[in-house]
């Protein structure tokens, strides 16, 4: 009867959760009703946990090492002990992907402080948890790529740098920003810092192509180090002289950003999408620009053919 209740939980939201590993369950399950955590795990009631998301592309895992680097950095900043060594995490992630049998999808994984109390610091002797979910990924409308997105400066304060660079399970500002944008009939929000420099979006980075043909990305000291942005910046440096005049990672004042020719949204789920309007004013000519498309294609090729960044899934 309890399992029937758990199964009914998503009756109104057909989910695409294909396989789930839990150190607490001791293995991998494929029935979403069994993809559960104990309520007293501190990741649930205190947000003491970290996560990361990577992609399965054409039967391979893309850029997992970069995502694991960030995951372990976040765990360290959150004072979370590792539930198992990195190599074992990598192996469990690949094995869970194999059980899903999916050749395209998303992989999200978490470290939790573990169960044992309802206090703040982890319970004495608490066992940290490790969880891996293979799922359908966040889907965005095609119109984001063909027509572009419309965004607003959020009224919610940007996270202080320590919390912004840590990918923890505390996404309240990010959630509020998306809700605020939705209510305004827009696609997403943008955080701006106290100095008036551009930050990032809810679960994506932003970057700009200036009238001078230079790709500019905000510094990563007060925003999340997007694995997609970092890789795209590397790829973009390879097309300086042809597609671009330069690549810079700098503080970007809002006024300078607004005067850009193109504004880009960048992330593992969205890849590269054009932003055509910010605070009801057009960016450039108000239409998706050529660099958004060219950089998306560059990244797309890397995701399919970047053999040094693709890990085999043992299907
Ligand atoms: C706050 C935030 N910024 C940026 C990103 C983009 O990072 P990535 O390219 O690794 O998906 C994400 C998503 O992970 C995020 O949550």
DSSP string, 206-250: EEEE-TTSEEEE--TTSS---HHHHHHHHHHHTTBTTTBSEEEE-
- H or E element in which residue 76 lies: helix 64-77
pLDDT along the chain (315 residues), means of 10: 91 91 98 96 98 97 98 98 98 98 97 98 97 94 97 98 98 98 98 98 98 98 98 98 97 98 97 98 98 98 93 96
Buried b (16+ CB within 10 A) or exposed e, 217-242: bbebebbbbbbbbbbbbeebeeeeee
- Is the minimum distance from the CB of 228 to ligand 1 under 6 angstroms? yes
DSSP string, 130-170: EEEEEE------THHHHT-EEEEE-SSPPPPHHHHSS-BS-
CA-based torsion, 302, 62, 138, 76: positive or negative: negative
Taken in order of first residue, the domains within the chain and their CATH numbers are: 2-135 (3.30.470.10), 143-305 (3.20.10.10)
Q: What is the pLDDT of residue 15?
A: 85
Q: What is the pLDDT of residue 233?
A: 98
Please tell me the residue having the least CA distance from ligand 1 atom 14.
203
Q: What is the pLDDT of residue 129?
A: 98
Which pair of tokens denotes residue 136? Answer: 């359908």
Q: For ligand 1, what atom is nearest to the CA of residue 66?
A: 10
- Active-site position among 60, 102, 159, 167: 167
Please tell me the residue having the least CA distance from ligand 1 atom 16.
203
Residue 280 Cα, ligand 1 centroid: separation in angstroms? Answer: 24
Task: Give the span between the Cα atoms of 151 and 196, in whole angstroms.
Answer: 17
CA-based torsion, 236, 237, 241, 244: positive or negative: positive
Residue 8 Cα, ligand 1 centroid: separation in angstroms? Answer: 31
Please tell me the residue having the least CA distance from ligand 1 atom 5.
204
Is 60 a known active-site residue? no
């Amino acid at each position: 009867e309890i399992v029937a209740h758990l199964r009914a939980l998503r009756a109104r939201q057909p989910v695409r959760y294909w396989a789930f590993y839990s150190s607490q369950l001791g293995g991998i399950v494929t029935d979403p009703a069994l993809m559960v955590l104990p309520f007293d795990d501190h990741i649930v009631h205190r947000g003491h946990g970290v996560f990361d998301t990577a992609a399965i592309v054409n039967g391979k895992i893309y850029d997992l090492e970069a995502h694991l680097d960030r995951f372990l950095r976040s765990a360290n900043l959150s004072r979370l002990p590792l539930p198992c060594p990195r190599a074992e995490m990598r192996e469990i992630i690949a094995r869970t992907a194999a059980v899903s049998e999916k050749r395209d999808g998303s992989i999200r994984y978490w470290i939790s402080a573990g169960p044992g109390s309802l206090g703040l610091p982890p319970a004495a002797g608490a066992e940290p948890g490790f969880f891996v979910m293979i799922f359908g990924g966040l889907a965005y409308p095609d119109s984001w790529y063909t027509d572009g997105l419309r965004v607003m400066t959020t009224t919610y304060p940007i996270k202080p740098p320590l919390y912004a660079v840590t990918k923890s399970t505390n996404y309240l500002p990010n959630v509020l920003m998306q809700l605020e944008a939705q209510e305004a009939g827009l696609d997403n929000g943008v955080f701006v810092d106290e100095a008036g420099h551009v930050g990032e979006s809810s679960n994506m980075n932003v970057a700009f192509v200036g009238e001078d043909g230079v790709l500019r990305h905000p510094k990563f000291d007060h925003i999340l180090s997007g694995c997609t942005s970092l890789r795209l910046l590397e790829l973009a440096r390879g097309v300086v002289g042809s597609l671009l005049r330069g690549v810079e990672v700098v503080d970007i004042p809002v006024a300078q950003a607004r005067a850009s020719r193109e504004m880009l949204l960048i992330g593992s789920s969205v890849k590269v999408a054009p932003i055509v309007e910010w605070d009801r004013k057009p960016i450039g000519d108000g239409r998706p620009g050529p660099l958004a498309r060219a950089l998306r294609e560059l990244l797309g090729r890397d995701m399919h053919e970047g053999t040094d960044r693709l890990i085999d899934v043992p299907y």
